[in-house]
Amino acid sequence: MSIFQGSAVAIITPFFEDGSVNYPVLEELIEMHIQNHTDAIVIAGTTGESSVMTDDDQIEVIRFTVEKVNKRIPVIAGTGSNVTAHAIELAQRAEAAGVDGLLIVTPYYNKSTQAGLIQHYTAIAKSVHTPIILYSVASRTGVNIAPATVKALSQVENIVGIKEASGDLSQIAQIAQLCGPDFDIYSGNDDQTLPMLALGAKGVISVLANVAPKTVHDICQNFFDGNVAESRRLFLDYLHLANTLFIEVNPVPVKAAMNLMGYAAGPTVPPLFPMEEANLEKLKDALRAHQLI
């Protein structure tokens, strides 16, 4: 039930100034990614600011993306919640919209135990047929998915992988060792894509791919093709830009970058506010270094 291999963009959601979704620009971005060989689209994730959307708006963004992609590449929907029943409802509605996969973050703020995580994810998985990618990002949620918990959840039929954003390569190696090659691991951090590919990761769910889609695809594809030196060259060449996209909390810098590049990405929704001027200048320098502005 593998969903994709390579680079999945954690796509931004373009907004108008009033906070409504700019669907014409979203369609433009979808087409840009397909033309630049992005391997999958993750819609309504953290980078897509799903946390500021109503449920209906979130599902409509997902439905729109599924319709416009039209099966050309996989579409994966972010449907996590800190309430199990709510996560089930979002997962079922996204499944009805026709997504190819679900990305489900750990419950945040409530800080479930590891046993609770097993129950939470198992309940969601049993409520749908769509393949599920777990999402472990303790820096945002306060909850880490321990390797033994990942192993237990990998036994659930439609839990097929994990987006690992713990930043702990030793933990990721342990997950790979425990779960084996049939369980897909994806990098959740652009600055760890190449090391994680070396550990057997299937690809990356990438913020950098918003501004450099072909490059992130090529980092992965060259690695898979055995051109490790070229993969490493590209990875190291874009490492500074990848890190600069996190100079302030995501997705503030990447939306600023998209606006600077001429895409009408619009604002982030408060409490995410425009970048500090000094950081914006650093972002501009990093973009200029790759002739992106």
Residue 1 pLDDT > 80: no
**281 in any annotated domain:** no
Q: What per-residue confidence (pLDDT) applies to 58?
A: 98
Q: What per-residue confidence (pLDDT) applies to 62?
A: 98
Q: Considering the entire predicted model, what is its pTM?
A: 0.97
Distance of CA 145 to the CA centre of its chain: 17
Distance of CA 286 to the CA centre of its chain: 22
Residue 283 pLDDT > 90: yes
Work out the end-to-end distance of the chain between its first and last CA atoms, rounded to an integer number of angstroms: 39
- Tally of domains within the chain: 1
Distance of CA 15 to the CA centre of its chain: 19
Q: What per-residue confidence (pLDDT) applies to 175?
A: 98
Residue 215 pLDDT > 80: yes
**35 in any annotated domain:** yes
**56 in any annotated domain:** yes
Which domain covers residue 34, as residue numbers?
A: 6-247
Among 135, 194, 190, residue whose Cα is nearest residue 159: 135
Residue 247 pLDDT > 90: yes
**292 in any annotated domain:** no
Average pLDDT over residues 43-70: 97
pLDDT in tens, 11-49: 999 999 999 999 999 999 999 999 999 999 999 999 999
pLDDT in tens, 88-142: 999 999 999 999 999 999 999 999 999 999 999 999 999 999 999 999 999 999 9
Among 158, 130, 157, residue whose Cα is nearest residue 66: 130
- Calpha distance 164→145 (Å, rounded): 9
147: CATH: 3.20.20.70
Average pLDDT over residues 45-67: 97
**54 in any annotated domain:** yes
- Calpha distance 224→227 (Å, rounded): 7
- Calpha distance 236→78 (Å, rounded): 29
**55 in any annotated domain:** yes
Q: What per-residue confidence (pLDDT) applies to 86?
A: 98
Phi first, then psi: what are they for 273, rounded to 5°? -115, 165
- For 216-266, give the DSSP string: HHHHHHHHHTT-HHHHHHHHHHTHHHHHHTTSSSTTHHHHHHHHHTT----
